[in-house]
Amino acid sequence: MERKTIRSIDRALQVLELFSLEKPEWGVTEISKVLNIYKSNVHNVLSTFAEKGFVKKNSKTDKYKLGIKFFELGSVVIKNMDLRRITHPYIEKLSKEFNETVHLGVLDEGRVISIEREESNKGLCSHIEIGRRAPLHCTAVGKAIMSYLSENEINLIIKEKGLEKYTENTITTKEGLENEFKKIRKQGYAVDNMEHEEGVRCVAGPIRDYNGKVIASMSISGPSVRITVDKEEEYAKMLVEACRVISKELGYLEGRKRQKY
C-alpha cells in the first residue's frame, strides 16, 4: 500500500525534531535555512504550536523553545511505561544465557524489593521471591541503587536501617561503603561477594529513568562456585549492556549530564 504523507504535518514535525538538548532554542530564520522552508511557513507553524502550548517564544531572543505541553504528553507516556514489562525479555535472555537466577529490584522504604525474576533450572541456584525485601548495603542489586543516591539519602538509610553484619564479607562501616560506591560508579556495576548469604555471589547493574536517575537494578546471582571472581567481568558485560538498553527504552539519553553524588 502506498504511504500517504500530509505535507503540512510532515513540515511541522521536521520543525519540532530540530529542538534538542544541545540546541533547545531556534529562531525562524535559522529553521528556514536548515530545512529550506519559507520563513512565512516556519512562522505559521511556530505560531500554531505556540497557540496550543507546544512551543514558547523567548521575548529576549525572539527564539522559540518547547513548551509545557510536551512535558504533559511526555508524562503520560512515562506513566504508562511498565518497568516489569520492559525488563522481562532481558531478564529471560540473561537467565537463559547463563542459566542463573536474574531478578529486578527497586528501592522501597530503605530496602530493595524484588519485583520480577527468572530462576535457574539448576538444582543448586539462588531462590529469590517476588516481593522479598533485602538490605541495600550488602546485596549487589541494593548497592547498584544505593551508590547513586544522594549523600543525604544514604545517611538517612544508614541511620534508619543500620549496617547489619550478615557474613564475614559484609561492609559494616560508612567509610567502607563510600569506597565501595566509588568503585561501583567507576566500573558501572555492583558485586555482592557473599556479603548477604554465604556461598552466593551476585552481579548487578543500574537502570535509569528518562531523567537519568537510577530507579532500579537488575542482577545475576548464583553459587559462588559457578559465579567466580574470574567470571565476574563476563557476567557484568552482558548485564550492564542490558541495563543500558532498558534505560534507553525508559527514555534515558546517554551522554546527558548525570546527577551528582
CATH fold of 7-77 reads Arc Repressor Mutant, subunit A (1.10.10)
Q: DSSP character for 148?
A: T
Residue 70: pLDDT band with limits 50, 70, 90: confident
Q: Which H or E element spans position 218?
A: strand 214-223
Give the C-alpha separation, 1 to 87, whole Å.
34
Question: pLDDT of 215-236, one tens digit each?
Answer: 999 999 988 888 888 888 889 9
pLDDT at 109: 85
CATH 1.10.10.10 positions along the chain are 7-77
CATH fold of 81-249 reads Beta-Lactamase (3.30.450)
The average pLDDT across 180-189 equals 96
What are the Cα distances from residue 150, in Å, to 11, 20, 80, 155, 215?
Answer: 43, 28, 27, 9, 13
pLDDT at 256: 56
Residue 84: pLDDT band with limits 50, 70, 90: confident
pLDDT at 1: 42
CATH 3.30.450.40 positions along the chain are 81-249
Question: pLDDT of 20-50, one tens digit each?
Answer: 878 899 999 999 999 999 999 999 999 999 9
Q: Mean pLDDT for the chain?
A: 88
What is the reported pTM? Answer: 0.68
Q: Do 68 and 52 touch, CB atoms closer than 8 A?
A: no
- In this structure, the number of other CB atoms found within 10 A of the CB of residue 120 comes to 21
The average pLDDT across 99-106 equals 92
